[in-house]
Amino acid sequence: VVTVKVSKVTKTFRKGKTPVEVLKGVDLVIERGACMGILGPSGTGKTTLMRIIAGLEVPTSGDVYFDDKLVSTSNRIVVPPERRNIGMVFQSWALYPNMKAYDNIAFAVKNRKGEELRKKIEEIAEVLDIKKVLDRYPRELSGGQQQRVALARALAKDPSLLVLDEPFSNLDARIRDSARALVKKVQKEFGVTAIVVSHDPADIFSVADVAGVLLDGNFAQVGSPIELYDSPVSARVARLVGEINELDGQVEGGKLKVLNGTVEVKGLDEGEVKVGMRPEDLKVSEDQVPGMVSLGKVRVKVSSYTGSSFRLVVSPIEDDRVELYVNSDRPMDINSIALLYVRPEKVKIFRK
Ligand code: ADP
Ligand code: MG
């Protein structure tokens, strides 16, 4: 089990004649036994960064260390991938179709043989609940079982590092939650350092202790899932980690004016700002709501049932073009007029 350190890593690809810098000096430390999540839109270089850590791709510049050992440096692989002892699971689990589940797992293990190998595989299969399907071929397994066999294969060689690149995106929504919980459980149980990469914040939030948001070739923010969700450093980060309403606002005399409301804020520069409010931090009500601040009258345009709650779309009565999403525990009549409230401590303010 290792600490992974990525220092000032850049990667430039050539697209025809034009060089494109995909990674622009990435710094990252993943502590021994921690589970790091990397979130970013498609095409931001997440897979490229994983391939550099795994030694499958060479950095254009910068260094990668496993503990204190240099494994990659500018244009050079110092320790080859097969000697980095990494267990990897990719989006396509790529099990060998002509091998039974057991052999798919055993094939990856070089350091064990015979009875010792069998014991190891059975131990992992027990944790992942695939003991009964070890003698089946991949085509005889469900998607969830295939994913667990791929995970078992990655774990069977006692990896120093587990790399999971979009491991849940091929799973049905129905089993995705249990797959996430399982990954978290085995990562903690085996105590292995892990990196989970996804474009879906739910994947990252459910398994990672710490997460980084990769944007434009660099980490825009690194923090706990709660920090990223509650205190995003920019509107782009806020948008990537969850749904958010974005409005224009003004800070005057230490107070934020947004819509027809005034919210107390601390330590902010005066002037025009962008304001972010998550749908669950808003409420539409005819009455006063204790602890919440009124933003003025709104008209309900849409009220739809989402299975567990209601989703409203509302507009300030004086400006129909502004629309806000509100999560509500009850439906509202279309065109009804009520007051919009916000939880003031949850209001996010970004520089324009
Ligand atoms: P992500 O995993 O975040 O979706 P990738 O790391 O796969 O992003 O890709 C980042 C960018 O680098 C993309 O624009 C992709 O086209 C480009 N890219 C990745 N690998 C190569 C390669 N081998 N040659 C040229 N361009 C590449
Ligand atoms: Mg990718």
Phi/psi for 119 (5° steps) reads -60, -45
For residue 21, what are the CA distances in angstroms to 27, 170, 212, 217? 15, 29, 19, 8
Give 131 Cα–ligand 1 centroid separation in angstroms: 37
Q: What is the pLDDT of residue 179?
A: 87
The closest ligand to the CA of 164 turns out to be 2
Question: In sequence order, what DSSP letters do the residues of 152-175 get, joined into one string?
Answer: HHHHHT--SEEEEESTTTTS-HHH
- Count other C-beta atoms under 10 Å from residue 255's C-beta: 12
Q: What is the pLDDT of residue 344?
A: 95
Contacts with 171 (C-beta within 8 Å, 6 or more apart), sequence order: 143, 144, 147, 179
Q: Which ligand is nearest to the CA of 49?
A: 1
Ligand 1 contacts CB of residue 46 (under 6 A)? yes
CB atoms within 10 A of CB 186: 20
Which candidate, 293, 216, 195, 261, places its Cα nearest to that of 24?
A: 216
Give the residue ranges of the chain where pLDDT is below 50. Answer: none
Q: Phi and psi (nearest 5°) for 3?
A: -95, 130
CA–CA separation, 257 and 261 (whole Å): 6
19 in Cβ contact with 36 (< 8 Å): no
Q: How far is the CA of 301 from the centre of ligand 2 (A)?
A: 38
Distance 43 CA to ligand 2 centre (A): 7
44 lines ligand 1 (CB under 6 A): yes
* Residue 343 C-beta-side C-alpha neighbours within 13 Å: 11
Element (H, E) at 182: helix 173-190
DSSP string, 186-217: HHHHHT-EEEEEES-HHHHHHH-SEEEEEETT
**Beta carbon of 11 within 6 Å of any ligand 1 atom:** no
What is the reported pLDDT for 112? Answer: 83
- Rounded distance from Cα 306 to ligand 2 centre (Å): 31
Regarding the beta carbon of 51 and ligand 1, being less than 6 Å apart is answered no
Residue 138 in contact with ligand 1 by CB distance below 6 A? no
Res 92: pLDDT:
75
Buried b (16+ CB within 10 A) or exposed e, 65-89: bbeeeebbbeeebeeebeebbbbbb
Taking the centre of ligand 1 as the mean of its atom positions, its distance from the CA of residue 58, in whole angstroms, is 13
Quick one: which ligand is closest to 38's CA? 1
